[in-house]
Structure 1
């Protein structure tokens, strides 16, 4: 499987077939082959506003994405271009160019809303591209942002209200960074005769009006949505790239033929995207690879085509189900691969095989931990533990079979002379029993000296000696050189030796059982340890996520208070308090303790025997704590 992918040209990822979307399988396959984290940059905006040219510039080209030179929209659906990230060799840059919004030929504004929603759902950076200035007309054209809560749900329990801002805190957790690209800008950047930056210009344009009239509510609504949904905002302005009469051949023109200011502005824009756009993540900080992004594409498009509203929480849960299943399969495959490399059967002792198993299990668990996420009930981790325990037993059984086969082969070879003597009647003469006993002892000594017999060495020897027991008794009874008392003593001695060997075998079996129990306990402790380490890292990501959300809400709250919007500020206060409560819960040691308790409970159902009973008690203790 390829870890990264470089496409020579973009291709359609999501095709717009009138009133239905269709995922293009070739593009989906290419995307799914990318196992690196992906930085997903999507652009949206009205048709014929130069979106495709900007995306081609991000790809390091002057052409690639389809450019139109007429009033007719060119790009249909969503087109994808996957490229090595210019500054991060371990990441892939995925550029998404979307169908132009507001095309009168479509005749269905619902398609535009879904295009906008898909761009938001799939990207880590969203660029909104429009012409000239940020005025009320531009805001009216961005009415799609006010429809987001009708086309996207953050959680299964999400509701809708008049403003669609109820779940803004949850949306911030999912939503991309927002960049406003303002094309063919010709005004002076100043306010009250004081110079201002492009970012200042954007924030000035996003200020709310006070009042309760319907017109003011319509004025404020898109601005409120941008404030609430996209707290991380940036603005870039671009001069016209060339004279209007040359725009139709823009992609053929060299940079030296373009306006120098535009060239520099485009370069700054690209540098900013490369430096600041982060890999796409899902809640909890889990980084999305191209493989995962492909599954998200399918999930969202299928949901939309079924007439339902995409739910981000559901999508993550569905993704976790698929990925966690794959994580278990990867871990088991890695375990089997390592065992084939390391376990040379038969092993001298069970302990040696268990040591190898422990090494392979630890690496397999690391493979699982690296890929798995949102395994809140620890069903998948417990399933992995059970599967690896079963695999261990299979290897133990195979180890015994290999040992048994080898030991019988050794004994058969060593016993050839003994068998020939029995057939020739060498032992059927006076004093023959002692000769038989001596030869059997010599055979046993040579057998003990043979290397690599494995774990069944004593069991097979005992069975061999049992098989020869009736022959030895016959030879003993027919030996005329021995008195009856001597025969009785010889038989008693043979029985005592047999009983001693059986006792030794029982002790070995008990020792093996104890070693296996110790190994299960080790496995349990290792799983708990690795989960705790993972939870500590995930807690850091969650706290960073919460901190980012709180900071954004505090900024918006401060802005609302300054502008006199107390009701909105109070709403933000409630959201901030909820986030602070989440932060406190995650920060507490009880948070990790509860997670470990859940795993302990899950393991209690899959670990057999006494270890499982011990784990039950530990799980209850964890849950209590």
Structure 2
């Protein structure tokens, strides 16, 4: 469990009211802070059958979950206790104790089914606690909930035309059937059997196709199908007589030794064989995901239906990845607000800043994304970032235009005042006017920080002042026709040059946009190629390992064969030596 989580005692996770199920926000907050994978053990059974006592033992505590000493049910709804897993480092053990089934004080019996279904949905190990023996009533009770499989199966429930059964129901938990106060002898056909064999025999199908046999087989088929992993524990009575009402205060020495042994084996099995809560697709569940599952299931049950697992996973993926996209966008906006001062001098400067912040935002998304296998949400993020870039470019243009307009009004204000005062209404006035215009244009162009629209806005301003220039030209009687023609041509050339500059600036901006698009495309191709090279390198590494293992195995076999050959040669040499000795002995006897 995450070090910041400390639960000294259980807490209600889901409260069962007469109207609907309610989640406890404080319990959900605790779940949301658990970053480790979770192992979820839930227990269900008739009320007053000792479920809470077992869960306290799994928590390693004498007290915790409420253990009643009267015929009245104690646990209401579902209670949660998060503790460190005793045998799985970096895992949290989440214990869920449920409201007892069959409580005579309960107003609405359908809540039994809802609590039962929630325990199956949320757990990775499901403990079914019953009394005395496995009978038809206990089987039917378990079957009644597994009949909800049409709502639990891994297909997409939004498709009403899909009727095929799922290939497997891998999201169902392991089943541990506990029998309390077991009084029967564990034997069949005169032979001793294990508790697991007793469970399998109880779920064994009868041969036949008649209606009675089918009715007998149906619940057993359903249980076998949805709980392929099953385990059974039988418990002797923990104590005798009045001591039963004081069970949680009794020490092990005061309990039935057989019960203490049964309890130890049960806890050991749970700890050793417990598995991480996993959703279809191999999705490991941590605290926040378990919180999401609780909210999804409770909302669905309150609305009158249970969700399919596939839809639950899709909801989980959508929720986490949408949040990852939002985190990335927020990070991008923060970076850009810190680094970008509009207007930028060039479009490329803005594009470079965008590209840097875009890469950091994508890194934030990849860090927080969850099973975005088809990169749907990454593509959505890239589309949003592209729109952000377009919006920034537009803001950059607008900021530049506003700044340049203000600057032009400031720089050319003296000229406008001179025109209004008639300074240029004299021979040679037009030439003076043009010179003054050139001075002011040069002053304007020398000012830094105008942005990308400097020439565009200047040209629009000059075009607007063209009638003023024409008026001054017409009143300039001192100019000869030739001089006037030259000045007009010069003015047109300058206008054409300005237009050329404007168009060139637009062309350069367009080329920069296209170059940026090409760079993105090339970057995507490079990423694809890098992934392909990485995959091929991994395949070559696997082949090298396999070849090395084959060579080592061949060397080992060869060494064994050579050792056997040497041993055989030594035996043959010994036999020849023995034969020679016998011949020499016989020769001595004959002599």
Common fold by TM > 0.5:
yes
Partner residue in 1 for 2:275: 277
CA contact (8 A) 1:66 1:74 kept: yes
CA distances 1:388-434 after superposition (whole Å, capped 9, x unpaired): 44433322221122222333344455556656766777666666655
CA distances 1:509-532 after superposition (whole Å, capped 9, x unpaired): 244345445656777888999999
493, 496, 505: which one pairs with 2:493? 496
CA contact (8 A) 2:140 2:219 kept: yes
How far apart, in 1, do the equivalents of 2:190 and 2:414 lie?
Answer: 113
1:92 deviation in Å?
5.5
Change (3 A) 1:249 1:461: farther
Partner residue in 2 for 1:24: 23
Partner residue in 1 for 2:483: 486
Which shifted more, 92-101 or 302-311?
A: 302-311
CA contact (8 A) 2:123 2:277 kept: no
CA distances 1:207-240 after superposition (whole Å, capped 9, x unpaired): 6255327776666555433432122345566676
How far apart, in 1, do the equivalents of 2:509 and 2:42 lie?
Answer: 60
Change (3 A) 1:109 1:471: closer
In the alignment, does 2:207 pair up with 1:211? yes
Change (3 A) 1:406 1:255: farther
Which shifted more, 330-339 or 451-460?
A: 330-339
CA distances 1:521-579 after superposition (whole Å, capped 9, x unpaired): 77788899999999xxxxxxxxxxxxxxxxxxxxxxxxxxxxxxxxxxxxxxxxxxxxx
Alignment: residue pair count: 519
Partner-residue secondary structure (3-state), 1:466: helix
How far apart, in 2, do the equivalents of 1:169 and 1:457 lie?
Answer: 67
Partner-residue secondary structure (3-state), 1:344: coil
How far apart, in 1, do the equivalents of 2:513 and 2:292 lie?
Answer: 41
How far apart, in 2, do the equivalents of 1:503 and 1:77 lie?
Answer: 78
CA contact (8 A) 2:10 2:81 kept: yes
In the alignment, does 2:225 pair up with 1:228? yes
CA contact (8 A) 2:276 2:284 kept: no
Structure 1 residues 244-259: aligned runs within 5 Å: 245-252=242-249
Partner residue in 1 for 2:79: 79
In the alignment, does 2:463 pair up with 1:466? yes
Partner residue in 1 for 2:10: 10
How far apart, in 2, do the equivalents of 1:500 and 1:375 lie?
Answer: 54
In the alignment, does 2:117 pair up with 1:120? no
Partner residue in 1 for 2:545: none
Partner-residue secondary structure (3-state), 1:173: coil
In the alignment, does 2:450 pair up with 1:453? yes
CA distances 1:103-144 after superposition (whole Å, capped 9, x unpaired): 455487644333222211222332223456xx533x641433
How far apart, in 1, do the equivalents of 2:284 and 2:526 lie?
Answer: 23
1:68 deviation in Å?
1.3
Partner residue in 1 for 2:41: 41
Structure 1 residues 289-368: aligned runs within 5 Å: 290-305=287-302, 307-308=304-305, 310-316=307-313, 329-361=326-358, 364=361
Which shifted more, 69-78 or 516-525?
A: 516-525
CA contact (8 A) 1:73 1:100 kept: yes
How far apart, in 2, do the equivalents of 1:479 and 1:182 lie?
Answer: 116
CA contact (8 A) 2:101 2:112 kept: yes
CA distances 1:464-522 after superposition (whole Å, capped 9, x unpaired): 43345445455555567753322321221222122222222223324434544565677
1:7 deviation in Å?
4.8
Partner residue in 1 for 2:401: 404
How far apart, in 2, do the equivalents of 1:216 and 1:517 lie?
Answer: 74
Partner-residue secondary structure (3-state), 1:136: coil
CA distances 1:238-294 after superposition (whole Å, capped 9, x unpaired): 676677655544545678987774775466356336xx431442x334455555545
In structure 1, stretches of 5+ residues that fail to align are 535-625
Change (3 A) 1:78 1:183: same
Rg larger for: 2
Which shifted more, 102-111 or 113-122?
A: 102-111
1:146 deviation in Å?
2.1
Structure 1 residues 130-145: aligned runs within 5 Å: 130=130, 135-137=133-135, 140-145=137-142
Structure 1 residues 156-235: aligned runs within 5 Å: 156=157, 167=165, 169-170=167-168, 172-181=169-178, 201=197, 205=201, 208=204, 211-212=207-208, 221-234=218-231
Change (3 A) 1:217 1:392: same
Change (3 A) 1:453 1:228: same
Partner-residue secondary structure (3-state), 1:348: coil
Partner-residue secondary structure (3-state), 1:396: helix
CA contact (8 A) 2:146 2:226 kept: no
Partner-residue secondary structure (3-state), 1:347: coil
CA contact (8 A) 1:14 1:78 kept: yes
- Give the alignment's Cα RMSD to 1 decimal: 5.0
1:52 deviation in Å?
1.8
1:377 deviation in Å?
12
